[in-house]
Amino acid sequence: MSTAPWHDRRILFFGGKGGVGKTTLASAMAMAKARQGERVLVVSTDPAHNLGHLWDETVGAGQVPLTNGVWGTELDPTQIAREHVRAVSRTVRGLMPEHLHKRVDDYFALTLEAPGTHESALVDAMGRLVLEGFEEYDTLVFDTAPTGHTTRLLEMPRLMQMWTDGLLASRDRADRFSDAIRGLDGDRRAPDAVDVRNSRIRHLLEERRTRFIQVQEILGDPVLTGFMVVTLPERLPTLESLALHEQLCALGMGVPAVLINRCSAPDAPQWRIDEEARNIEEITARVDAPVLQIPVLERPMTGLDAVTAMADALQTAMGGR
């Protein structure tokens, strides 16, 4: 087995500007890995899913077989947020006295619209997939939404861990306070309903915190996780991919390769060849990762044949690595 930097990663994100070829190349990579005998799950986290469209299959929330060794799933942030909020509100209802249930319902109905709810639900779902997917698949390939959104998503487990830490710390203070009050009274009674509720809340928070830490450990491990930057040999995508590369480095995320997609054939007009060469040169000079050029394919780009052709092109660009 070769040692190319994208080979041993168990999680590969594919990210970049809109329309550069994230979905196509994520699927092509999945097929290339499946050809080596791996079991690969392609996960679409883009609300405007086009994974099913590319493979000409209905994908959706389940894990659907797409070809030998490749499965696909589409995470729908709205649906996930709804289920997530429903589950949390059910738990909170169970912890609250009955006369407050209506208030809990009203509160969570509002939460569904709150900023960040979809993202945190998506991170939760991605986290579960990562932890469960490790049992069943050799590699998880994430086809992500256009740029900004994804880098935020990568920061979320850390932010959410800090948030649960804050909640746990304030619970600690509250517990110490009530212990002190009880001490003053000489009150040594058995734990009451409030104590039981508090310890269940603590348990739930600790469980979430553990999950965020596990996900962070996996995403933050450059041996396990890498982020493939996809771009085009045009000016704006080039600039955007350099900015993305910088953001990923700042986050400590490894970039196994930059994929420059839809490079023109040698018989294209000279001005285009020259412009592409300038962009490719700039990317090569500024990133310290392999820069692979994928040719533009002049063929219909949906269905198994299209993914097969793209996987061939990708493998050629990877130089058999």
Ligand X SMILES: Nc1ncnc2c1ncn2[C@@H]1O[C@H](COP(=O)(O)OP(=O)(O)OP(=O)(O)O)[C@@H](O)[C@H]1O
- Name the residues that contact ligand X, by CB under 6 A: 18-24, 46, 50, 146, 261-262, 294, 296-297, 301
Q: How far is the CB of 23 from ligand X (least distance, A)?
A: 3
Q: Tokens 């809109």: give the residue.
A: 18
| Choices 23-31, 158-166, 253-261, 291-299; region in contact with Mg ion by CB under 5 A | 23-31
Q: How far is the CB of 126 from Mg ion (least distance, A)?
A: 16
Q: How far is the CB of 18 from ligand X (least distance, A)?
A: 4
Among 23, 27, 139, 238, binds Mg ion (CB under 5 A): 23
Alpha-carbon distances of 196 from 191, 199, 205, rounded to whole Å:
7, 5, 14
Alpha-carbon distances of 162 from 22, 37, 141, 167, 276, rounded to whole Å:
31, 39, 27, 9, 44
Q: How far is the CB of 301 from ligand X (least distance, A)?
A: 3
Contact pattern for Mg ion over residues 24 through 63, marking x by CB under 5 A: --------------------------x-------------
Nearer to Mg ion, 32 or 104 (CB): 32
CA atoms within 13 A on the CB side of 189: 10
Tell which residue, 92, 71, 156, 163, has the closest CA to residue 121: 156
Nearer to ligand X, 15 or 133 (CB): 15
Nearer to ligand X, 9 or 262 (CB): 262
**Cβ-contact 88, 205 below 8 angstroms:** no
Nearer to ligand X, 123 or 263 (CB): 263
**Residue 224: which residues within 8 A CB-CB, separation 6 or more?**
9, 10, 11, 218
| Choices 17-25, 118-126, 195-203, 271-279; region in contact with Mg ion by CB under 5 A | 17-25
Q: From the list ligand X, Mg ion, none, which binds 225 (C-beta under 5 to 8 Å, kind-based)? A: none
Nearer to ligand X, 146 or 220 (CB): 146
Tell which residue, 47, 251, 44, 75, has the closest CA to residue 158: 251
Q: How far is the CB of 151 from ligand X (least distance, A)?
A: 15
Q: How far is the CB of 266 from ligand X (least distance, A)?
A: 15
Token readout for 131 is: 């932890």
Instruction: Characterize 133-170 residue by residue with b for buried, 16 or more Cβ atoms within 10 angstroms of its Cβ, and e for exposed.
Output: beeebbbbbbbbbbbebbbebbbbbbebbebbeeeeee
Q: How far is the CB of 54 from ligand X (least distance, A)?
A: 7
Q: From the list Mg ion, ligand X, none, which binds 247 (C-beta under 5 to 8 Å, kind-based)? A: none
**Cβ-contact 314, 141 below 8 angstroms:** no
**Cβ-contact 11, 139 below 8 angstroms:** yes
Q: What is the pairing mode between strands 70-74 and 258-263? A: unpaired
Q: From the list ligand X, Mg ion, none, which binds 73 (C-beta under 5 to 8 Å, kind-based)? A: none
Binding stretches for Mg ion (CB under 5 A): 22-23, 50
